[in-house]
Amino acid sequence: MKLAPAPETHALMVMGALHDAGDTIVLLGPHEPGFWAHFTAQPEYRDGRPDPLDRWSKRAIGGLAADWNGTAIFPSDGPPYAPFQDWALRSGQAWTSPVGMLVQAQAGLMVSFRGAVRLAGRRLPLPAAKPDPCRTCPDKPCLSACPVGALGPGPYRVDACRAHLETAEGRDCRAQGCAVRRACPVSRSYGRLPEQSAFHMRAFR
C-alpha cells in the first residue's frame, strides 16, 4: 500500500487495511525498530503533561489524515468507540491468539494501534493477507508465560495481573513488559525496546 507522505515519516507503519463499503480504512501502529527514539524526541513526551503518546498520536496521525484527504480515528475517541479489534481481524493482518489478545503479522502480541485513517470514497489496493502465525507456532509459549496465570487459555484475570505488578516478583514485567507478550516469537523479532514496554506498563498500573 503506497501512501504519500509515508507513515514511516512519523515512525508509524500500516498494520492492516480494509474496505468498509466504499471507503478504505488504514490502521497505523509503531514502526520498529526506531519508534521509541522518535517518540521520545517529540514535544508531547517532553512537556510533562498527561497522555503524551495519545496527544502525539493525534497530532501525527491527524497530520497524515489531512495529507491523505482522510479522517483520523483514534481508539480513545468515544463512546461510541471505533471497532479497532474488528477492523484488525478483517484486515487479514491480525488474528485472535491462544491467550485471547490480538496477534499481528509484524508486531505479534506487541501490537498497538495508534490510530486509523478513513479514506472516504476510495477503495485502495489492500496489502496481501498474511497467514496466522499462531497456527504454525509449535510451542505456543504465550500459554504458559504469565508467572501468575493471569493470561492463558482462560479469561484474562486483570486483578491478578495488576496485583502481581505491585510485588517484587513483578519487577520483570514492570521493567521489560508483559511476559506473555514477550514470549511470542513474532513479538521477539519486532524490535520494541524494553523502555517502551515499561512506559505502557506504568500507564496500565
Residue labelled with grid coordinates 490502521 = 27
pLDDT tens string 120-173: 999 999 999 999 999 999 999 999 999 999 999 889 999 999 999 999 999 999
Q: pTM for the whole thing?
A: 0.95
pLDDT tens string 81-109: 999 999 999 999 999 999 999 999 999 99
Kindly compute the dihedral angle of the four CA atoms of residues 114, 193, 92, 132, in this order, to the nearest 10 degrees.
Answer: -150
The length of the chain is: 205
What residues does each domain of the chain span?
7-204
